[in-house]
Amino acid sequence: AACYGFATAATLAANFAASPTLQSIVGECTGGRYSECDPESADWLKNMIAGLFNHLDADSERLTQVITGLRQESEALGPAVRSIHQRYCLVLYEQYGNDIGIVFTYLMNIVETGVGKWFLIDAGVPHCYLQGELMECMVNSDNVVRGGLTPKLKDSATLCQILPYESRQEPAVADGTVLLESEGRRVLEYY
């Protein structure tokens, strides 16, 4: 599973409507009230992201409160009714603890793939890997900038400058083409 691009306005609205915890941080991050938020606005999304980094990530006590709230909301629901974002909140907490990246997943599309499946990530689209074994093939790049869900260096200031603040539909997930199969092993071609 992976996060891919910022979620559509409908997904953002659903995630915020289902979470009093997310609603509570809108004012801290954007200076506005939840009732005034506009998930269709690139400016709102930019302010929300900057606020998450500048206010929430900088205050470990408040970050712990927010992630605890998100976890409790997710745990209160049965597994069958949890949204994909709520499910991964619980999974990621076990791996990363109180990491700002958990909050960011609620703002992004979450894509689940199966064995032999692939999807294309356009250049410049924010993404991260959540669970499972994935392989990324990309052109040479010197612009890996991390914001969460990693023990490596995070550079939120640069990330805020370079992010494209636009919503995206979830990418299409496709099957790889079998080129060779022998003794239970397959060579697949993607794209």
Indicate if the pLDDT at residue 38 is higher than 70: yes
Indicate if the pLDDT at residue 140 is higher than 80: no
Phi, psi angles (nearest 5°) of residue 117: -100, 160
pTM: 0.89
Q: Which pLDDT score, from 0 to 100, does residue 123 have? A: 84
| pLDDT tens readout for residues 141-164 | 767 899 999 999 999 999 999 999
What distance in Å separates the CA atoms of residue 129 and residue 165, rounded to the nearest whole number? Answer: 20
Q: Which pLDDT score, from 0 to 100, does residue 31 have? A: 84
Rounded to an integer, the average pLDDT of 132-136 is 83
Catalytic center residues: 146
Q: Where are the domains of the chain?
A: 2-189
